[in-house]
Amino acid sequence: MTKEIPNALLGDVARAAGVSTASVSRVLNGAPHVSQRLRERVEAAIDKLGYVPDGAARALASRRIGAIGVLVPTLDNPVFSAWIDSLEQRLKHHDCRLLIATYRYDLDDEFAALRTLIQQGVDGVVLLGHDHREESIDLLQRRRLPFLTCWHNVNDPDCPCVGFDNALPARQLVEHLLTLGHRRLAVISAPTRTNDRARARLNSFLKTAEQAGYPISPGNIITVEYGIAEGAEAFEELMTRPQPPTAILCGNDTLAFGVMLAAQRSNKKIPEDVSITGYDNLPQSPFMNPPLTTVAVPAQALGDLVADAIIARINGNPSPHHQQLEAPLVIRRSTGPSTSG
Amino acid sequence: MTKEIPNALLGDVARAAGVSTASVSRVLNGAPHVSQRLRERVEAAIDKLGYVPDGAARALASRRIGAIGVLVPTLDNPVFSAWIDSLEQRLKHHDCRLLIATYRYDLDDEFAALRTLIQQGVDGVVLLGHDHREESIDLLQRRRLPFLTCWHNVNDPDCPCVGFDNALPARQLVEHLLTLGHRRLAVISAPTRTNDRARARLNSFLKTAEQAGYPISPGNIITVEYGIAEGAEAFEELMTRPQPPTAILCGNDTLAFGVMLAAQRSNKKIPEDVSITGYDNLPQSPFMNPPLTTVAVPAQALGDLVADAIIARINGNPSPHHQQLEAPLVIRRSTGPSTSG
DNA sequence: GTCCTCATTGTAAGCGCTTACAGATCTTGG
DNA sequence: CCAAGATCTGTAAGCGCTTACAATGAGGAC
């Protein structure tokens, strides 16, 4: 509760320590060529005056703000908040902050938010997925701003990427179901128009099934918004079909939860009456009844990797243009042998 | 894809438009006393040059950065991400950005994060709850930084607050269970040491039960970390009691989900064998089997209200010191008459 | 003792914008 | 037609830091 001069400036510290402003700045920034004695004097003065550097002035003079911007469709999805969480933790080690902006899957909003971030002077930008307005990538390139896309695996020379293959595990899920004897599959997908990840999953589901000789009928392909309620409704709709599917592939775990809850409610047994798969492996997936077969999206590892990669780019260190993580299948008891035929 | 001078400055715009830098700045900031003609000339020049103002320079000169800082324990909890989501949307209308920092319920980390935010020059700060290090509030006051606490309802002259009463709905939940005939209650609480919200709920559970003459026995009070798995384990522990509780009060919906899933797994019927209550009303609560009795925490309304209140404070407009929202009980089918006696 | 090198410190010029103030222009009333 | 007042625009002084460059001083080699 010390009574002190409201806001000490760097110059005040310099005066108090009897050194130049440059020296104070050097101490502050851990620059080399600073003697122990001087450092101690300055640090004492800083403590005494309760000095806090002004971020804006520092940013203006040094041309960096010590923060990166991340554009995420929504924080509503636990898989994104988990990712952001680990991204933030890891960036902290690099002494770097996070500016988060959301755009609700609207790429025009994403572009607008990107402009705002650039205006704020972020040192780098992380984009999610591969679907963006051309202007967004353009702007980043023209500004020479380090950036990264993630959560996908498109090998685009314009877009460095740290991600995983959305299609491969989707194919494996279908193969898993076919092996179990399922022949009438259905898909409940998130909207795909501005979401390459959802699109990759959906296309992979459809293509794999078709190539195996068991194409998924158009009536069994439902696209709904993200949400439990939406999953539940889609399930009910599928059950009105003359020949209901024996297995349902969901574009994400949340939709799968909706499906499972709706199934329980209408007394369908999982997996005896219908098998269910998700995609994400949210914390509660192993606790569902039965535990949910899904794909373990490496959200946390992705956060760490993205943090390291963007920092490397900002520092001008070499960083691979294209990095991939595994997204393994997690087979649990929500899928089982088909009993319909 | 226009080929243009990399980074136009305000001075370039002024030259291109044939006006002074002051006029450009005025147009940029929508200042009064700017003629229509001048405004149009400047706007044309801005478009032509693709000028983007430098946030750092602007912040340094104007002493505000157009962003507020929000300190949130974690983004892991959907109720917080929903709140942040609406906070961000609403602030956008006020042309204000959000800097988010998390501290994982560690108040020393919260203090450190606060310092960082202040250093970045945020125009205001939002804190969650009433538990903070004294130094944090001190720092805010000494800096004369507009700030707000929320999510609680402590009427502290030092801390303006926009929140709701955590204790009242907790009391109503207990009364609801007592009315249904339950006499052996249990509580599964989140850690309370640095979390006044959890503490208020827990204390209200205990006090209400005790005052009604049915105190909750110490063995039936379990504190666990946030999470589905944690709720499930706590349930299993409670079931090992010689006389298991007939109703379980959970500190939040996520714990309640864990309890419900564990109950299903061990073939306990809800609510016939045991009644369950939550607290938050997450999107999936109404979809559980059976739907969960809980408290509808007004996360979204709180986001809007907090946004308006902090903006008012920043602009020096009057704003109530203490604002309260309703957090109504939502009675669903996870609670029912006690059948044990 | 002189000269050179290198580690350390200081000087001062910005970084790109805002804004107080002053100056210019335009109305309007007398 | 002029002065007063209102409205618009320009000038220039910062905002609080960083950093290129210059200056200083201490050792060492000769």
Task: Give tens-digit pLDDT for A24-71.
Answer: 999 998 887 888 889 999 999 999 998 999 999 999 999 989 999 999
Q: How high is the pLDDT of residue B7?
A: 78
For residues A259 and A250, the answer to whether their CB atoms sit within 8 Å is yes
Q: Is residue A3 part of a domain?
A: no
Is B304 a residue whose pLDDT tops 70? yes
Structural domain total, chain B: 3
Claim to verify: residue B94 and residue B185 sit in the same structural domain: no
Q: What share of chain B is helix, strand, coil (3-state, %, to 5)?
A: 45, 15, 40
A-contacting residues of B 100-129, CB under 8 Å?
A: 100-102, 115-116, 118-121
B100: helix, strand or coil:
strand
A109 is a domain residue: yes
pLDDT score of A316? 87
- Shared domain for B234 and B205, answered yes or no, is yes
The partner residue sitting opposite A55, judged by closest CB among B101, B120, B228, is B120
Q: Compute the Cα dihedral for B83, B88, B91, B97 and give only its sign.
A: positive
The answer to the question of residue A4 being in a domain is: no
| DSSP structure string for A202-267 | HHHHHHHHHHTT-PPPGGGEEE--SSHHHHHHHHHHHHTSSS--SEEEESSHHHHHHHHHHHHHTT
Contacts with B76 from chain A: Cβ below 8 Å: 78, 81-82, 85
A-facing residues of B in 76-95 (CB < 8 A) are: 76, 78, 81-82, 84-85, 88
Q: Do A67 and B7 touch (CB under 8 A)?
A: no
Instruction: Check if residue B318 sits with its Cβ under 7 angstroms from strand D.
Output: no
Q: Quick check: helix, strand or coil at residue A193?
A: coil
Is A179 inside a domain boundary?
A: yes
Q: Are B72 and B80 in contact (CB under 8 A)?
A: yes
Do residue A160 and residue A174 come from a single domain?
no
Instruction: Quick: pLDDT tens for B193-210.
Output: 999 999 999 999 999 999
B38 touches strand D (CB under 7 A): yes
> Which residues on chain B are in Cβ contact (under 8 Å) with A115?
52
Q: Do A288 and B261 touch (CB under 8 A)?
A: yes
B248-259 average pLDDT score: 98
Is there a contact between B166 and B208 (Cβ–Cβ < 8 Å)?
Answer: no
Task: Tell me which nucleotides of strand D come within 7 A of a protein CB.
Answer: 7-12, 14-20
Closest alpha carbon to B109 in A52, A92, A306, A81: A92
Establish, for the pair of chains A and B, how many residue pairs have beta carbons separated by less than 8 Å.
126
Instruction: Give B310-339 pLDDT, tens digit per residue.
Output: 999 998 889 999 999 999 999 999 999 998
d(CA B71, CA B96): 16
Distance B35 CA to C29 C1' (A): 25
The CATH number of the domain holding residue A192 is 3.40.50.2300
Q: Closest residue to D13 by CA to C1' distance?
A: B61
The DSSP letter of residue B227 is: S
Q: What six digits make up the tokens of A94?
A: 């690099």
The Cα–Cα gap between A318 and A313 comes to: 7
A287 contacts chain B (CB < 8 A): yes
A7 closest CA partner among A41, A61, A43, A53: A53
- How far is A215 from chain B, CA to nearest CA, in Å? 31
- Residue A6: the pLDDT is 61
Please check whether residues A239 and A205 belong to one and the same domain. yes
Read off the amino acid at residue A7: N
Give yes or no for A269 touching B (CB within 8 A).
no
pLDDT tens digits, residue range B91-122?
989 989 898 899 999 999 999 999 989 988 89
Q: What is residue B180's predicted lDDT score, i.e. its pLDDT?
A: 98
A305 plus A158 within the same structural domain: yes
B35 Cβ nearer than 7 Å to chain D strand: yes
Mean pLDDT value across chain B:
94
Q: What pLDDT, on a 0 to 100 scale, did the predictor assign at position B261?
A: 94
Indicate whether B32 belongs to any domain: yes
Q: How far is the CA of B28 from the C1' of D3 (A)?
A: 35
pLDDT under 70 in chain A at which residues? 1-6, 340-341
Q: CB neighbours of B256 closer than 8 A, spacing ≥ 6?
A: B231, B250, B276, B277, B278, B279, B285, B292, B294, B334
Distance in angstroms (rounded) separating the CA atoms of residues B337 and B202: 23
Judge contact between B252 and B294, C-beta under 8 A.
no
Q: Do B102 and A81 touch (CB under 8 A)?
A: no
Half-sphere exposure of B335 (CA within 13 A, CB side): 27
- Tracing tokens 């902090």 back to the chain, one arrives at B310
What pLDDT score does A341 carry? 52
Domain that holds residue B132: 66-164+299-325
- Shared domain check, B311 and B288: no
The enclosing H or E element of A128 equals strand A124-128
Three-point CA angle B324, B329, B333, nearest 5°? 165
Task: Indicate whether A130 and A219 sit together in one domain.
Answer: no
Does A291 lie in the same domain as A187? yes
Cα(A228)–Cα(B296) distance, integer angstroms: 17
Identify the pLDDT of residue B70: 96
Supply the DSSP string of A258-306, one letter for each residue.
HHHHHHHHTT--TTTT-EEE-SB--TTGGGSSSPPBEEB--HHHHHHHH
Distance of alpha carbon B37 from alpha carbon A101, whole angstroms: 35
- Give, rounded to a whole angstrom, the gap between the first and last alpha carbons of chain B: 77
- The CATH number assigned to the domain holding B26 equals 1.10.260.40
Whether residues A98 and A185 fall in one domain: no
Range 41-70, chain A: CB under 7 Å to any strand D atom? 51, 53-54, 57-58, 60-63
Supply the pLDDT for residue B152.
Answer: 98
Long-range contacts of A129-136 (CB under 8 A, 24+ apart): A129/A73, A129/A195, A129/A196, A129/A197, A130/A154, A130/A156, A130/A159, A130/A161, A130/A196, A131/A107, A131/A194, A131/A195, A131/A196, A132/A107, A133/A107, A133/A108, A135/A111, A136/A107, A136/A110, A136/A111
> Counting every residue, how long is chain B?
341
Contact partners, residue A107, CB within 8 Å, separation at least 6: A131, A132, A133, A136, A194
Q: Which nucleotide is nearest to B42 (CA to C1')?
A: D9
Q: Name residue A205's amino acid.
A: F
Q: Is the pLDDT of residue B2 over 80?
A: no
If we measure between CA atoms, which residue out of B117, B34, B37 comes closest to residue B71?
A: B117
Residues A32 and A134 in one domain: no
Which residues partner with A294 through β-bridges? A330
3 state SS of A125: strand
The partner residue sitting opposite A76, judged by closest CB among B52, B81, B227, is B81
pLDDT one-digit tens code per residue, B139-194: 899 888 999 999 999 999 999 999 999 999 999 999 999 999 999 999 999 999 99
**Do B186 and B226 belong to one domain?**
yes
Nearest Cβ partner for A228 among B54, B283, B289:
B283
Q: Are residues A178 and A269 in the same domain?
A: yes
Give me the phi and psi of B75, to 5 degrees please.
-95, 0
Close Cβ partners of A158 (under 8 Å, ≥ 6 residues apart): A137, A141
So what's the pLDDT on residue B3?
35
Kindly state whether residue B111 falls inside one of the protein's structural domains. yes
User: What residues in A contact B60, CB-CB < 8 Å?
Assistant: 54, 56-57, 59-60
Residues of A in contact with B4 (CB under 8 A): 142
Q: How far is CA A334 from CA A180, A338, B171, in A?
A: 12, 12, 39
Reduced to 3 states (helix: H, G, I; strand: E, B; else coil), residue A98 is strand
Per the CB < 8 A criterion, the answer to whether B211 and B239 are in contact is no
Chain B CB within 8 Å of residue A55 CB? yes
The answer to whether position B200 is within a domain reads yes
Residue B85 covered by a domain: yes
Q: What per-residue confidence (pLDDT) applies to A179?
A: 98
pLDDT of A33: 80
Residue B118 CB in 7 A reach of strand D: no
Question: Which chain A residues are Cβ-neighbours of B2 within 8 angstroms?
Answer: none
B261: CB partners within 8 A, 6+ apart: A284, A287, A288, A289, B228, B232
According to DSSP, the β-strands at B329-330 and B294-295 are: antiparallel
Find the residue closest to C10 using CA and C1' atoms. A20
> Could you tell me the pLDDT band of residue B300, with boundaries at 50, 70 and 90?
very high
